[in-house]
Every structure is written in C-alpha cells, then in structure tokens.
C-alpha cells in the first residue's frame, strides 16, 4: 500500500475486497489495522521517552471446517494477504479434529459499510509532537516547582491513531479512523522518609478539547501535587464494611469491573455469576447500566467505537435497566448461540490479535441527588475518589483501588485519608445503592482494560452511594 497523508488517510477496503473476491467460498474476515503511536514522557526534567511507533498489518480470520482459523501478515499487499488466508484456513483445518462443537454459519446481521471517522482526528494529527513535548516539559517543571516537598514529578503525553478496514465475505466493508490522546502528570512528595504520590490522568477519543474538557493541564498538575503533599500527613481509614460515596471515576470502575466483565458473553458461558440471571433483579431499582460504542452525554469518551472488529455497528446496550439484568455483551458467535443480535463488542488490540468480547464505554445513568445532599445523608461513612487499578472475579467479587478517602461523620466531611482498596460482590453492592447523583462524567479514559489483550475503554457515571468492604488498618 502506498504511503499516504495520515490526516487524509487511505481507504484500504478496496484492496481487501479484491483479495476477498479471489479467496473462494467460506467465511473470511479481513481486518487491516494501522496503529501509529506518538508519545513523550518526562521525569524530573529528563526526557525518558520520545517515540513514534508504527504497527500495521492485516489480520485474517476464517471459519473453516466448523472452527476458527487466524493468521496475520505485516505486509499489506494482495499476495501476502492471500497467503495469510491460506494459512488461516490450514490452521483451522489442522485444528478442526480438536473441536467438539462445530461452529455453524454465522447468521446474517446488519454489517457496517462506508467510512466512519471519530471527531478530532484531523485536529490531533495536525498538532506537532513539538507541541506535545513543550506541554509535557512545562507541566512537569510546574509540578516539580509547586512545592518544596515535591521530590520528583512526571508528565507524559501519548496518542494512538488507528485506521482500520474491515471487509467480510458476508458484506461488511467499513473504513474507520480515530485518535485517542492521553495525558498524565504525577508528583512524588517526600517528608521525613515518608513518600507519597499524586497522579492525574485523562484520556479521550477525539481532540485536545475533549482531552482537557474537565480540567486544564495546569489544573491537573496542581491537583497531582496537592494530593501527593496532602497524603504525607494523612492517616489510613479503618477497614470494614462501610457506606461510601463513590466519585464518577470509581463508579466507572464499579460498572466496568463489578458488572461489565461478568456480562461478557464468553465469561457468562464459562459460568460467571451473571449466568442465568437475565430478567432477574440484580441491583437497586435506581441502577440503569449501559455499554455503548458511542460517546453518550458528551463527545470524547475514551472507548468510542463506531464499528467493531467483526464489522458490526457498535451500538448501545442496556445491560441493567431499573435494576433488572437485560442483556449480555456479545460478538457474532455468542449472539448466534444465544439467538440474539450481536452488540458490537468484538474488539482486537492490534492486527495480529483475534477479536474478543470487550466493553467500550460503560456507565450508570445519572439520577437526581446532588453531592451535597448525598454527603448530608451519611451518618458514618467515607467519600472515595481517584481510580487506581481494578479487577473482577468470576464469582462477582471485585476490587479496585482508590487514591483518596474522606471520612463522613453525621453528614460532614473530615480530613483527607489515604486511598484504600475496596471490594464487594457485584450484584450485592448494586443492591445497596440508595442514592444516585445528578451530574454525569466520563472519567476512565486514560485506562486500559486487560483480557489477554489491552483495550481502550472508558467508564463513568454520577456520584453513587452504596455499601462496600473497605480495606484499611486493623488494630
């Protein structure tokens, strides 16, 4: 394929369609995927990384002899793609004797055709890497000089530009383009041998306006420094089962970790705690929980996806409506097995990865309570903010880290305490939701979900009041 102007792009689908036309019978899915990553990272005034990376190729998936075969090539030319089709078919045929339940032909579904471009591609790609470097150097310097107790600071910017062409033998022919910028700033504060960190990170699908919609880079730097310094003198919360108010970023983690993974159809089939619960009450009636490829509420959600990696339009799925489990997340095969339409959740990280069932943007719908009212309603509890990592388990048990905690006693906020990990069982915790905030926010766009492959996702919601197990000190 000819080199092309990245801003204008080059439609790869005609080449793929030509190869596919000569590929003979049987289901074949061709996915061209170009990924170009630009990034800079600075710590304590030193540029640790300044890089431009390109990873491009074609992934081929076939359904042959009742099973799946996959092959990939980094050569984007007709001959190499045709050879990859042959390799994928041979892999499928070779492995077919190992398959007990043969996969039948996939039922016809509405597949995407045409060009799909997320907002911000032109704006972001037009920015020079010098601009990103200048921003990162300036903000790192600003964070480092903001307090005499800051021992070190970091700042980084990265953008992933992706161009895909998806062509299938049953009708998909889509060309998609998007860009996902990320920015982070962190500070390490030290006092009398004590070391604490503060970190703020944002990520979006779109331009820099989306990226810095909720806070400017300067505000993010100030917040990171303040958190690191304030945590030096902070104590630990007492562990135990507590009433907590979760910030939108933590609600995002809750929706993603506690519920989202358990409703991925492959995990459901293996026996996750959501299996067999469709139509049943799994949460307080205040909870409506969705997953969508669109950036609902406002532009910029980090997991935006117009078309999934099987060529299915990435629409909106209501997973829990008013507390009742309504749908799982599907790819084409799992949807066919369940007799429902695919939900557009098949995603592959790079061209040489097979599509897996993954979330996109997952959220809890806002309610009608202000944060002030929520705080006033707590007699003994914690306000938690700042998302760290998280993980879900097959039994619905989840955990995720928080960066800061504030005790609430008789409706009043106390001083900052150190963040802790919280845990619970997904549907048990959702059943304890008694108040849902009124202001929605996407707040997980800088994160990646891991499931064998990474995936860019976003999640969010309003402030939420529920009961969880809080890790902390024991006397």
Report the nearest approach of other proteins to the CB of residue 315 (Å): 24
Short-list 456, 432, 100, CA closest to 245:
432
- Interface positions, 270-289, toward other proteins (CB under 8 A): 270-273
- What minimum distance in Å lies between the beta carbon of 459 and other proteins? 18
For the packed helices 13-21 and 78-95, what is the interaxial angle rounded to 10 degrees?
60
Count residues binding other proteins (CB under 8 A): 88
Which stretch in 15-23, 304-312, 314-322, 412-420 sits in contact with other proteins by CB under 8 A? 412-420
Q: Can you state the angle between helices 217-232 and 129-144, rounded to 10 degrees?
A: 30
What is the Cα–Cα distance from 89 to 70, expressed in whole angstroms?
A: 8
247 binds other proteins (CB under 8 A): no
Q: Which listed range, 191-199, 201-209, 286-294, 438-446, lies at the site for other proteins (CB under 8 A)?
A: 191-199
Q: Does 391 bind other proteins (CB under 8 A)?
A: yes
Q: Judged by CB under 8 A, which stretch of 62-70, 175-183, 215-223, 435-443 contacts other proteins?
A: 62-70
Q: How far is the CB of 172 from other proteins (least distance, A)?
A: 19
Interaction of residue 420 with other proteins, rule CB under 8 A: yes
Cβ burial, residue 145 (10 Å; 0-12/13-18/19+): exposed
Contact status: 425 vs other proteins (CB under 8 A): yes
Q: How far apart are CA 203 and CA 303, in angstroms?
A: 9
Return the residues of window 316-355 that contact other proteins according to CB under 8 A.
352, 354
Q: Is 471 in the site for other proteins (CB under 8 A)?
A: yes
Rule CB under 8 A: say whether 11 interacts with other proteins: no
Residues 224-243 that bind other proteins (CB under 8 A): 236, 239-241
Q: How far apart are CA 123 and CA 121, in angstroms?
A: 6
Which CB, 97 or 410, lies closer to other proteins?
A: 97
Q: Does 470 bind other proteins (CB under 8 A)?
A: yes
Q: How near is the Cβ of 61 to other proteins at its closest, in Å?
A: 8
**Smallest gap from residue 213 Cβ to other proteins (A):** 27
Distances (CA, A) of 9 to 41, 97, 159, 170, 320: 27, 43, 17, 25, 39
Nearer to other proteins, 116 or 236 (CB): 236
| Minimum gap (Å) between residue 359 Cβ and other proteins | 17
Residue 49 CB, shortest distance to other proteins, in Å, is 5
| Binding status of residue 449 toward other proteins by CB under 8 A | no
Q: What is the DSSP string of 3-52?
A: ---TTT----HHHHHHHHHTS-SSEEEEEEEEEEEEEEEEETTEEEEEEE
SS3 annotation, 346-409? EECCCCCCCCEECCCEEEECCCCECHHHHHHCCCEEEEEEEEEEEEECCCCEEEEEEEEEEEEE
Nearer to other proteins, 61 or 173 (CB): 61
Taking the least distance from each CB to other proteins, the nearer of 145 and 395 is: 395
Of 385, 357, 471, whose CA–CA distance to 424 is shortest? Answer: 471
Q: In whole angstroms, how large is the CA radius of gyration of the chain?
A: 23
Q: How far is the CB of 305 from other proteins (least distance, A)?
A: 22
Among 372, 307, 399, 375, smallest CA distance to 345 is for 307
Evaluate the CA torsion angle 158, 315, 214, 454 in order and state its sign: negative
User: C-beta of 9: minimal distance to other proteins in Å?
Assistant: 16
Q: Rounded distance, CA 455 to CA 360, Å?
A: 8
Binding of other proteins at residue 124 (CB under 8 A)? no
Site string for other proteins, 68-107 (x = CB under 8 A): xxxxxxxx-----------xx-xxx-xx-xxxxx------
In the bound complex, what is the minimum distance in angstroms from residue 270's beta carbon to other proteins? 4
Say whether residue 135 binds other proteins (CB under 8 A): no
DSSP 239: P
By CB under 8 A, name the one of 5, 372, 410, 474 that touches other proteins: 474
Q: Can you read off the two tokens belonging to residue 126?
A: 């037009």
Given candidates 147, 169, 394, 432, which one binds other proteins under the rule CB under 8 A? 394
**CA-CA distance, 331 to 120, in Å (whole number)?**
28
Residue 377 has phi, psi (to 5 degrees) of: -90, 0
By the rule CB under 8 A, 165 interacts with other proteins: no
Given the complex with other proteins, which of 219 and 380 has the nearer CB atom? 380
Instruction: For residue 466, state whether it binds other proteins (rule: CB under 8 A).
Output: no
Nearer to other proteins, 93 or 321 (CB): 93
Residue closer to other proteins, measured from CB, 59 or 311: 59
């Amino acid at each position: 394929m000819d080199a092309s102007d990245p801003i204008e792009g080059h439609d790869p689908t005609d080449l793929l369609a030509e190869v596919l036309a000569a590929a003979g019978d049987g289901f074949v899915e061709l996915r061209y995927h170009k990924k170009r990553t630009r990034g800079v990272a600075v710590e304590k005034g030193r540029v640790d990384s300044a890089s431009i990376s390109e990873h491009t190729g074609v992934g081929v998936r076939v359904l042959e002899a009742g099973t799946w075969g996959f092959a990939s090539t980094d050569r984007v030319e007709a001959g190499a793609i045709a050879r990859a089709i042959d390799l994928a078919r041979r892999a499928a045929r070779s492995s077919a004797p190992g398959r007990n339940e043969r996969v039948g032909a996939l039922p016809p579904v509405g597949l995407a055709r045409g060009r799909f471009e997320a907002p911000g591609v032109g704006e972001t790609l037009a920015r020079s890497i010098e601009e990103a470097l200048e921003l990162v150097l300036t903000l790192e310097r600003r964070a480092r000089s903001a307090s005499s107790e800051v021992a070190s600071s970091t700042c980084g910017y990265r953008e992933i530009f992706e161009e895909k062409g998806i062509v299938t033998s049953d009708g998909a022919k889509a060309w998609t383009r998007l860009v996902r910028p990320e920015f982070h700033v962190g500070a390490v504060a030290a006092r009398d041998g004590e070391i604490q960190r503060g970190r703020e990170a944002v990520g979006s699908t779109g331009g820099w306006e989306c990226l810095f919609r909720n806070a400017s880079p300067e505000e993010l730097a100030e917040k990171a420094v303040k958190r690191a310094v304030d945590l030096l003198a902070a104590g630990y919360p007492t562990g135990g089962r507590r009433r907590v108010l979760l910030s939108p970023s933590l609600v995002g983690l809750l929706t993603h970790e506690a519920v989202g993974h358990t409703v991925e159809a492959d995990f459901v089939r293996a026996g996750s705690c959501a299996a067999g619960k469709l139509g049943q009450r799994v949460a307080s009636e205040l909870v409506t929980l969705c997953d969508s490829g669109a950036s609902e509420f406002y532009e910029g959600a980090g997991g935006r996806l117009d078309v999934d990696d099987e060529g299915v339009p990435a629409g909106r799925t209501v997973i829990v409506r008013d507390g009742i489990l309504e749908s799982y997340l599907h790819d084409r095969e799992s949807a066919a097995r369940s007799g429902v339409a695919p939900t557009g959740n098949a995603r592959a990280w790079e061209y040489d990865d097979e599509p897996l069932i993954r979330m996109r943007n997952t959220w809890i719908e806002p309610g009608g309570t202000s944060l002030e009212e929520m705080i006033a309603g707590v007699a003994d509890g914690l306000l938690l903010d700042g998302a760290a990592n998280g993980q879900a388990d097959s039994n619905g048990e989840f955990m995720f880290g928080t960066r800061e905690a504030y005790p609430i006693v008789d409706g009043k906020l106390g001083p900052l305490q150190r963040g802790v990990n919280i845990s619970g069982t997904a549907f048990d915790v959702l059943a304890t939701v008694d108040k849902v905030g009124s202001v929605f926010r996407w707040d997980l766009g800088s994160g990646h979900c891991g499931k064998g492959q990474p995936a860019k996702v976003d999640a969010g919601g309003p402030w939420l009041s529920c009961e969880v197990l809080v890790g902390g000190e024991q006397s």
